[in-house]
Amino acid sequence: MILEFKIKHLVLMCLIYFGINQNLGAQNIANTSFRTGADQPELYLEKLKSKKNIIVVANQTSLLENKQHLVDFLVEKKINIKSIFAPEHGFRGDADAGEHIKNGIDTKTNLPIVSLYGKNKKPSNDQLKGADLILFDIQDVGVRFYTYISTLTYVMEAAAENNIPVMLLDRPNPHDGYIDGPVLKEKWSSFVGLHQVPVIYGLTIGEYGKMVNGEKWMKNGVTCDYEIIPMKNYHKQKRYPISERPSPNLPNDQSINLYPSLCFFEGTEVSVGRGTDFPFQIYGSPWIKSMDYSFTPKPNYGAKDPFLNGQLCYGENLSKDKSDLRKLDIAWLLKAYKNFDHSKKQFFLKNLFFDKLAGSDELRKQLISRKSEKDIRNSWKSDLEAFSKIRNKYLIYPN
């Protein structure tokens, strides 16, 4: 009996072992078989070959798995590209936030580059003349005030007005699978927030465009001929590597992880680390003296004249905290406001850019009245529930 029991036990352990390893193998296969839209040319290349004048909206993130740029790949495949449209930070992605980008020529392909930042955020009729397709491929970060989704909206709007179809090659959202933060109010619509969505909206850029189109959020309710080339084996609760920094001051996963929580400081007298080695991973101000960590912003790549340039700032270093927040954390904002010397300096910038980032003046007023984190988060609840019902209509990946 004892021998029989041992044999059965051994067989059971072997089955468990091989079963576990089979599952791990399946997971590894699933992970390695993930593909962005751009990495599936079999889904879009033949469609592009039938077009005579294609406009490509792209930047430094528009890479294939082998690191080849999408534009170079399309030129190699003899696709007829009319011009390149570039968003904030430019086609090569090396311009400061807010820096006006000039039109130019791509030195590698000799294709004309049209800037969609500065005064020309929406393509003009002349810039679209003769085009028979707009191909959009940009890595977004899934946060309302990150401007690539505003560029997408304006491109779709101009395309609708000129009867030009839009094809979008979808990419991962590093903040996918959840929603959080205050929902923008229409009065505060701007290029850092065009639509009534929360700070973290839980959609890929392809799904976001589908929502904008489906809800008729573009000017005069226009809709465009919109096609998504979806990702393969993408799940909204998983996190996927991003091959290239989406902008100069988001250099790594940690900066992207913290970006939606720390970006509110851009509307205050608090630095988010532009001009240091840790942009969007630290925060501090000359008017906060009660925190031990200190840094001094200085000109560098992506920050030619950083905010609080040359001034000693006191604050907090979050660069070593590798946790995936999966929420909008306002604890740092509350801490900075509490420890700020309001007798020497106003916390909020006079232009009230903070309200545009927050989507209304409510969060600013809550901070001034010293509302608790719990009360502030509760104030978002009903708007988030309403948005969730809208969002659910446009999901194309497992959630």
Superfamily per CATH, domain 41-242: Uncharacterised protein PF07075, DUF1343 (3.40.50.12170)
Strand ranges, E, within the chain: 54-58, 81-86, 104-105, 112-115, 133-137, 166-169, 180-183, 198-200, 226-229, 282-285, 293-295, 313-317
The pLDDT, as a whole number, for residue 110 is 93
Q: What is the pLDDT of residue 302?
A: 82
Give 125-147 pLDDT, tens digit per residue.
Answer: 999 999 999 999 999 999 999 99
pLDDT category of residue 376 using cuts at 50, 70 and 90: very high
Q: What is the mean pLDDT of residues 253-281?
A: 97
- Residue 357 to residue 369: CA distance in whole angstroms: 19
Whether 368 has a pLDDT exceeding 90, the answer reads yes
In this prediction, residues 222-229 reach a mean pLDDT of 98
Instruction: Give the pLDDT confidence score for residue 49 in this predicted structure.
Output: 97
Q: What tokens were used for 387?
A: 């948005």
pLDDT, average across residues 85-96:
76
Query: Given strand 104-105, what is the order of strands in its sheet?
Result: 104-105, 112-115, 81-86, 54-58, 133-137, 166-169, 226-229
Q: Which residues pair with 140 in a beta bridge?
A: none
Q: Which residue has the higher pLDDT, 16 or 374?
A: 374
**173's tokens:** 């959202």
Query: Which is more confidently placed, 23 or 397?
Result: 397
- Whether the pLDDT of residue 304 is over 50: the answer is yes
Which tens digits make up the pLDDT trace of 310-365?
999 999 999 997 766 789 999 999 999 999 999 999 999 999 999 999 999 999 99
Residues ≥6 apart with Cβ < 8 Å to 137: 37, 38, 56, 57, 58, 62, 70, 168, 169, 171
**Parallel/antiparallel/unpaired status of strands 104-105 and 166-169:** unpaired
> Tens digit of pLDDT for each residue in 33-87?
999 999 999 999 999 999 999 999 999 999 999 999 999 999 999 999 999 999 9
CB atoms closer than 10 angstroms to residue 67: 8
For residue range 156-188, list pLDDT tens digits in order.
999 999 999 999 999 999 999 999 999 999 999
Least confident among 57-71, 100-114, 255-269, 382-396: 100-114
CATH 3.40.50.12170 domain locations along the chain: 41-242
The answer to whether 137 and 44 are in contact (CB under 8 A) is no
CA distance 307 to 305: 7
- Average pLDDT over every residue of 230-252: 94
In the numeric block, the tokens 């997971």 are attached to: 27
Provide the pLDDT for residue 241: 85
242 — pLDDT class (breaks 50, 70, 90) = confident
Q: How far is CA 67 from CA 72, 207, 333, 398, in A?
A: 11, 25, 37, 27
Strand 104-105 relative to strand 112-115, pairing: antiparallel
Q: Are 116 and 57 in contact (CB under 8 A)?
A: yes
Question: Where does the pLDDT of residue 107 fall: very low under 50, low under 70, confident under 90, or very high at 90 and above?
Answer: confident
Q: What is the pTM of this model?
A: 0.90
Pick from 239, 260, 114: nearest CA to 176 = 239
C-beta separation of 171 from 139 below 8 A: yes
Q: Is 271 helix (H, G, I), strand (E, B) or coil?
A: strand
Phi, psi angle pair for 183, to nearest 5°: -85, 135
Query: Which of 127-141, 201-215, 286-300, 322-336 bottoms out in mean pLDDT, i.e. has the lowest?
Result: 322-336
Cα gap 367→340, rounded to integer Å: 12
* pLDDT score, position 101: 63
**pLDDT at res. 97:** 59
Mean pLDDT of 214-227: 98
